[in-house]
Amino acid sequence: MRWTLKPKPEPHKIQALQEALQVDEPIATLLVQRGIETFEQAKTFFRPSLNDLHDPYLMKDMDKAVARIEKAIINKENILIYGDYDVDGTTSVALMSSYLKTKHDLVYTYIPNRYDEGYGVSYKGINFAMENDFSLIIALDCGVKAIEKVAYAKDLGIDFIICDHHRPAGEIPDAVAVLDPKRADCEYPFKELCGCGVGFKLIQALAKKDGQSVEDLVPYLDLVATAIGADIVPINGENRVLAYFGLQVINSNPRPGIKAILNQVEKSKLTITDVVFIVAPRINAAGRMKHGNFAVALLVEEDTDNANQFALEINQYNLDRRETDKQITEAALRQIEEQKEQERFTTVVYDQTWHKGVIGIVASRLTETYYRPTLVFTKSGDLLAASARSVRGFDVYEAIGACSEHIEQFGGHKYAAGLTLKEENYDAFKQAFEATVSKTINKNLLVPEIKADVKIDLKDITPKFYRILKQLAPYGPENMTPVFMTEDLTDTGYGKCVGQDKTHLRVTVSQPDSNAIVGIGFGMGDKYDIISDKKPFRAVYSVDENEWQGHVSLQLKLRDIKT
């Protein structure tokens, strides 16, 4: 692990905020690092308000989208809500369809088949709309690059409203309205909404036209918070407000589908991290193992018994996904070990039998293991399809683009992408990708990095300190869980390896002039020698609470330790 300590902000800014908020220096430092420098900015950050949400009509084409939906309702048109098969797409479809059904009976949903149609708007979906007399399609979490498909629909007399958050290719589809804050000509103040977030802005605009307030829409925010967590968008600005209130809904009065998922796990109060690791994988599993329609059915279901039955089925898909993912990961690791004849800057593996629905997860696991830009290929019809994942700081989308002569199609973003190619081009692509990465990557990026926010002493960790830390949540990109570095630590002599197979490390650390505090390092049992015999060491860690037999105490969640 490479440790880096973030630069300390200018001392006068830290001191001014300390005085304004009456907090200790480490807290003020964390806030200034996050761009919070004044009392007013801190108030907005610590006390999210629905009033902080922007006017939806600031988004380009919003007035056109609202007018077209109102026309469809007046004329009793069939409306098709179309979305991608992942968490952001299925929550978006559930959000839009459940809201519009409160105003209009003729609202239906469509999720493309991952294996038959692939990502985004499909000709099959448009043909379905034509055959079933749909005159308006609202596409969510996709569509901003569907130039030809939107034109095809228009020739058939079908209008499109697009709600997307991906960067347009340049040309904008000829739709009735294209809502996308990343459009170059869109002046909407917050650019980092997820697809479900853009969908929420549309229902906010519709509600505003009908004289409703944003408070009336709070019950929909459990879906938005789930999408924000799953899609790994920055949790600042508007996303922070939506996630904050969405988590409140999840923890107090979630829709029956989400409640049915939560009934399967023993968890009292969920954080955004719990949403990412508990709720999102189950919703995703439907599209990976069966069909995204099952996820939408769960999320819009209003009957508790039906929701519980759907959740049981989806949980089984998730268990199947886990088993499949485990088997493929093990096979991929064996393949990599057999190929280890030379040092490589990339990891590229292929087997025609691997399940297309889980290769993205496998790519993530291989990236964690070898810390290289990674591609996992499988057979998909007449082509090979791959999921790509990258290491922090390296743009895998750009690297794939540099090999485009060997590729049929590709898309994605900096850290995750997908592509298809002809089987006969696989070896040439693999060589080209390795050559591109080896020439362009900074070799430091091939060693995992831990960024510590602030260097502190154990005496800084007080109940008040932790109470304020908790208010920094929800955490995510641009507002990550604070990581601290502390030096000159010693174990009190009670350190040991714990867990069924002794793979975890439990220490009780102290410094002169401080109380001892327990630390737990998951998967760090092999570092026991560093802390044994009261040898001094240093640690990077986050701070959390440990509850044991009714007693709650602060503990260090160790990220790494060194001599």
- Among 413, 446, 479, the domain-final residue is 446
Tokens at residue 559, please? Answer: 């990220």
Task: Based on the fold, state whether residues 291 and 167 are members of the same structural domain.
Answer: yes
Beta-bridge partners for 541: 484, 558
- 318 domain residue, yes or no: no
For residues 223-243, one letter each, b for 16 or more C-beta atoms within 10 angstroms of the residue's C-beta and e for the rest, the string is bbbbbbbbbebbbbbbbbbbb
Looking at the structure, tell me whether residues 187 and 296 fall in a common domain.
yes
**Which positions of the chain have pLDDT values less than 50?**
none
Structure tokens at 18: 């300390």
Same domain, residue pair 77 and 171: yes
- Same domain (yes/no): 160, 19: no
Determine, yes or no, domain membership for 502: yes
**Residue 323 counted as domain residue:** no
Number of CB atoms found within 10 A of residue 368's CB: 12
Q: What is the DSSP string of 259-274?
A: HHHHTTS--SS--HHH
Domain count along the chain = 3
Question: Last residue of some domain: 446, 473, 493?
Answer: 446
Same domain, 465 and 492: yes
| pLDDT digit string, tens, across residues 513-532 | 888 999 999 999 999 999 99
Q: In this structure, which amino acid lies at residue 286?
A: A
Mark whether 400 and 352 lie in a shared domain: yes
Is there a domain that residue 324 lies in?
no
Same domain, 502 and 417: no
In a domain, residue 105? The reply is yes
Q: Indicate whether 206 and 114 sit together in one domain.
A: yes
Enter the pTM of the model. Answer: 0.91
Count Cβ atoms below 10 Å from residue 334 Cβ, excluding itself: 11
Q: What are phi and psi of 333, to 5 degrees?
A: -60, -40
Q: Which of 297, 313, 329 is the last residue of a domain?
A: 313
Domain that holds residue 543: 2-47+450-562
**Do residue 23 and residue 162 come from a single domain?**
no
Residue 504 in any domain: the answer is yes
Whether 333 is in a domain gets the answer: no
Asked if the structure places residue 320 within a domain, the reply is no
Q: Do 39 and 88 belong to one domain?
A: no
**What is d(CA 426, CA 237) in angstroms, rounded to the nearest whole number?**
42
Residue with tokens 């260097």: 455
Distance, in Å, from the CA atom of 233 to the CA atom of 87, rounded to the nearest integer, reads 13
pLDDT at 341 (0 to 100)? 61
Whether residue 303 is found in the same domain as residue 410: no
